[in-house]
Chain A
Amino acid sequence: MSAKSILPMLLRGTAAALILAPTAFVPAAHAARGSDGELRLLFNQAVSTLNVYLSSGTKDITAASLVLEPLAAYDPDGQLVPRLAAEIPSQKNGGIATDLTSITWKLKPGVQWSDGTPLTSEDVKFTYDYCRNPETGCAHAAKLDGVIAVETPDPQTVTFRFAAPMPYPFQPFTGATGPVLQKAQFAACLGKLAATCTAQNASPIGTGPFMVTDFKVNDVVTMAANPLYREAEKPAFATATIKGGGDALSSASAVLETGEFDYAWNTLINPEQQLQMEAGGKGRFVSAFGALVERIEVNLTDPAATLPEGERSTVKHPHPILSDVRVRKALSLAIARDVLVEIGYGAAGKPTCNMVAGPPHYVSDNTACLHQDLPAARALLEAAGWQDTDGDGIREKDGRKLSFLFQTTVNPVRQDFQALIKGWWNDIGVEVDLKAIDGSVFFSGDAGSPDTNEKFYADFEMYANEFDGTDPQAYLAARSCDKIPAPDRQWQGENIGRFCDPAYDAMVAELAKTANMAERAQLVKALNDRLTAGDQVVIPLIHRGRFSAISNTLGGVALSAWDSELWNVADWHRLPR
């Protein structure tokens, strides 16, 4: 049997969950508000605040999304869906200025806070001032970057003015990290006072489908359906409870094996455990794929320890072996990405050849690397002049052995990947030394440490990265020449692989000027293809997703990786038995 025929068979169990999921998208006929009883949610990290602006923890942001709402949310495809806004602004409907320096949102008419007062544009402006105040310590101030003024011409209209043309102007007040706070409740909590407003932060008044009834910090949040929620008959549940604590495995078990809970957040466990849990029969796993890509960065500069300190891994010395694109392509071809997924992630990952793996409209149809091809990889190395002349199984050229150092962080899945990839690379005549670095050192950015991912004193390193929000412009711009980490800038910079090509930089500059979505998508795909299939300056491996467990009795769930997982909780309902 070939690899192609057996792998789908092995994956079938997990794939079934993915096939079932789309049927849940169809909204079922709703019963009356609150007729479905209690919604029991389990978070393996307990919720510590419900004020999104004072926490960068995903658990807090996710929990708060039941209560607080942004102007627009992101659906599973990364597309904007109006929440408090009446419609998504565009140049066509006049919401976005032709010179791209402002965006105007119209609020939905008649929206009320759960205390009965009306929502107005003043609340949006207040929330902006709240987060922009440097003494507030706002965790999501970066979303407001570039905004110079907020105007409220009438109670239903709010306009954001930008310092410079913004080809993607949807950052402020979209998604779970940009909800609107009630001015009346938080007016006394500006600046330094933000953290002292314990009562407000623990139970913010919102416009969402639920309102907080009780909050035990770092333990349980209890909520009740918001009687003033703008959509009739929603939410279907009368109450919602978010219990915190445990770990990924035990929380998955509580949903899938014992059925004590309806939903468990963030249950990333290994594929074997996934199968065991699903055998419990009480529920299934659901995944949502965002932008997170596990990749191998290729060092295009020479990390040799023989070079003087300060010149290692700098553009002064191009890599003696990896500067040849044929070697890079051969190494990528030798990897069986589907096996890596099967071993490390199961339904929580997909093989990918792309750096930009989502949202769907930005994803290139580049799939050439998905099938491992060892003969082709060997042929590429032969063509590049690497031959095993002394019969030791390792190729040489000009007296130099084809030998690499491959580093990553200490993590059982990554160590398995290292061993597998080393095996495949050995198979095509490449010698590999492995190294594992503690994650807190690797990601520390400490210029004094030789083991950071920026310093890159190795030939390859494996880790995962993604971009914030749904727009990959900054993420792709990180590969430009001026972002290469170097000693004269304290080894800061996001261009880890030290790729430098003026043609690429020119395309990035063009992307920054393009507002038309179709043209942007074209450019993003072209840039992605340059990095991957074209020059293979990075070796993408796996598109990793969010992974949660839901009960079979729950309907309407559509996990979004671009927003809070619970972004559409108003549509959730109990399925008839």
Chain B
Amino acid sequence: MADRIVANGLWPRFRRQAAAMTALMVLALLILLVICGPLIWRIDPHFIDSDPVRMIGLRNQAPSLAHPLGTDQLGRDMLARLMLGGQVSLAVGLVAMLVALGIGTGIGLLAGYFRRLDGWLMRLTDIFLSLPVLPLMLVMMFLFRDALGRWIGPGAGSFALIVLAIGLTGWMPAARLVRAEVLSLRERDFIRAARAIGAPAPRILRHHILPNVWAPVLVAASLGISSAILTESMLSFLGFGFPPDMPTWGRLLHEGVGAMRSHPDRLVWPGLALTLTLLCVTYIGEGLRRALDPRQH
């Protein structure tokens, strides 16, 4: 089957690309660091010494053995905050990407396969593409934050809402990609054969089309992660993201701006982590695209 051929060839072809492989390793290292790091580096990222004298002594410390990245304006350990922030930012990126991809693939499949739905669904996609995303998200945050927070607690509520907001406003590119792919697939002989022997549409979609569109989906996914992380940073920067004591990379940047002149490192570390992640994800996406592109071989 076509999908097996692609899958079998994918890894060797991906592995041959030095940039993409480096990016994959760096990203793996970053993920390992933010997930396993806190198990080794056990300082509480929220810890503020309740003794005023000790707290003031701990503020704004330069990097040292006790605090490899120094401490912030309230004496909290920057390394611990950076790792916790990474967990949140990466989790938001991944989950929001899955949401966007789920919606986008679904709509793309339906629009590409069913002629009757195509016009309607693609106009819907156009409408979403033309909506100003940021104001829309701010309104969503504003309307639903309390309601969701009531159901599942303020922290989980914010997470669900941010992920949904990013997903609901980011599925359009995936939908267009998938539709284009499906349009070309549905006229291919193996699909016509399946239709000819009377296979129902859901079965054709699931067993014959979906496995063959995952190449563009994978590329869209990698790009979706980076835009989701950036959007979360933007929301945190505007004060609409997580509760104020949750240190995402975006919020760390936001806090760092005020101290830019005296402590530029506060801005540099979260900025570096964010940039590195986005760069890696983009290179991996590019690597996947090349590995999947038959013209390259």
Contacts and interface: CB of A to CB of B under 8 A. Distances in A.
Say whether chain B's binding surface is mostly helix, strand, loop, or mixed: loop
A7 B52 contact: yes
Nearest to A432: B245
Contacts of A338: 52
A535 interface: no
A343 B53 contact: no
Interface string A315-344: 000000000000000000000101100110
Given A343-B74, A416-B73, A436 B150 contact: no
Contacts of B55: 339, 420
Interface string B214-253: 0000000000000000000000001110011100000000
Interface string A438-464: 100100000001110000010000000
B51 interface: yes
A291 B235 CA distance: 35
A305 B48 contact: no
B53 A423 contact: no
Interface stretch (B28-36, B90-98, B254-262, B283-291): B254-262
A140 interface: no
A419 interface: yes
Nearest to B263: A272
A1 B52 CA distance: 11
Contacts of B46: 419, 423
B262 A434 contact: no
Interface in B19-61: 46, 48, 50-53, 55-56, 59-60
Nearest to A449: B142
A112 interface: no
A427 interface: yes
A422 interface: yes
Given A249-B261, A419-B74, A434 B243 contact: yes
Given A6-B53, A435-B244, A410 B239 contact: yes
A164 B154 CA distance: 51
A270 B243 contact: no
Of A249, A412, A423, chain B has the most CB atoms within 10 Å of the CB of: A423
B293 interface: no
Given A305-B150, A436-B239, A438-B239, A419 B245 contact: yes
B244 to A, nearest CB: 4
B146 interface: yes
Nearest to A405: B154
Nearest to B254: A412
Nearest to A410: B239
Contact of A339 (B56, B150, B239, B244): B56
Contacts of B51: 3
A423 B48 contact: yes
B56 A6 contact: yes
A374 B50 CA distance: 9
A10 B146 CA distance: 42
Contacts of A404: none
B146 A372 contact: no
Given A7-B52, A339-B56, A412 B258 contact: yes
Contacts of B74: 343, 416, 419-420
Contact of B245 (A374, A410, A422, A450): A422
Contacts of A2: 53
Contacts of A405: 154
Contact of B243 (A342, A433, A450): A433
28 contacts: A1-B53, A3-B51, A3-B52, A3-B53, A7-B52, A10-B56, A249-B261, A272-B60, A272-B259, A272-B262, A273-B262, A305-B149, A343-B73, A410-B239, A415-B244, A416-B73, A416-B74, A419-B46, A419-B74, A420-B48, A423-B46, A427-B50, A435-B243, A435-B244, A436-B239, A438-B238, A438-B239, A438-B240
Given A2-B53, A343-B74, A437-B239, 8 more contacts: A272-B73, A305-B149, A339-B52, A339-B56, A343-B73, A405-B154, A441-B142, A451-B142
Shortest Cβ-Cβ A-B pairs, 8 listed? A410-B239, A423-B48, A436-B244, A427-B50, A339-B52, A305-B150, A3-B52, A336-B52
